[in-house]
Amino acid sequence: MNPFASIIDLVIRLYMWVVIGSAIMSWLVAFGVLNTRNRFVYQVGDVLYRLTEPALRPIRKVVPTIGGLDLSPVVLLLLLILIRNLLFWYVF
């Protein structure tokens, strides 16, 4: 097993969890379950936003919002899965 490919795979898997966490946090804030006036909630949301927004912004330009539902995290997750599969296909 190639150690470089293993590190890339680990980074992709961790980033997938960050995207999922960001999507769940945005839903909880939108439905009023979490209050962003709480300093900890704000900081966690800000970190997740800063980590995911550079990857989600170009996708949001292409994929329209459907009925107020942002599908860009789903598209990003599918792209990350595709990259992981291509990594395993060509490296391993």
Pick from 27, 25, 77, 32: which is nearest to 50 by CA? Answer: 25
The tens digit of pLDDT for each residue in 5-63 reads: 899 999 999 999 999 999 999 999 999 999 999 999 999 999 999 999 999 999 999 99
Q: Does residue 91 carry a pLDDT above 90?
A: no
Arithmetic mean of pLDDT, 61-82:
93
pLDDT value at 92 more than 80 = no
Cα 65 from chain centre: 17
Q: Which pLDDT band holds residue 1 (cuts at 50, 70, 90)?
A: low
- Give 60: exposed, middle or buried? Use CB within 10 Å, 0-12, 13-18, 19+: middle
Q: Which pLDDT score is estimated for 35?
A: 94
| The residue type at 19 | V
